[in-house]
A = this chain, B = another copy of it.
């Protein structure tokens, strides 16, 4: 492992600072929650809101997502890429996913502007308590990509 400089990782990608990661995360309309289901990796797109440093998702209490994230470490990813420019950014959170069961906390979260896109009952809240947030960018100015 080589030591990256302050702004570029050892894969040549620009490292985004924490504030920029949080700004991009908060502005993203949709993210992908990554979890384990039946001992296999699983991923699901969801809409969400950022609440303090945490991510809040609404789903059905009987969903695969709800069952698999009651008390476990999950990842959450947002990105935006310009395919023509072959450039863009991604931000990933790793944190504790948990079901929200406390009535006061639930009442707080119900006031958030969080309206699931999918139909049906979505009365279950998942809260991801952000522990680590990281981001990378492929800038538009990158010259041609070398391949070995």
Contacts and interface: CB of A to CB of B under 8 A. Distances in A.
A18 interface: no
A44 B41 CA distance: 13
Number of copies: 2
Contacts of A42: 34, 75, 92, 94
Contact of A12 (B75, B81, B118): B118
A147 B77 contact: no
A32 B32 contact: yes
A123 B145 contact: no
B94 A122 contact: no
B147 A118 contact: no
Given A11-B63, A47-B86, A115-B147, 14 more contacts: A11-B120, A12-B119, A30-B83, A32-B77, A34-B42, A35-B41, A41-B41, A41-B94, A43-B77, A43-B92, A45-B77, A117-B142, A119-B145, A121-B148
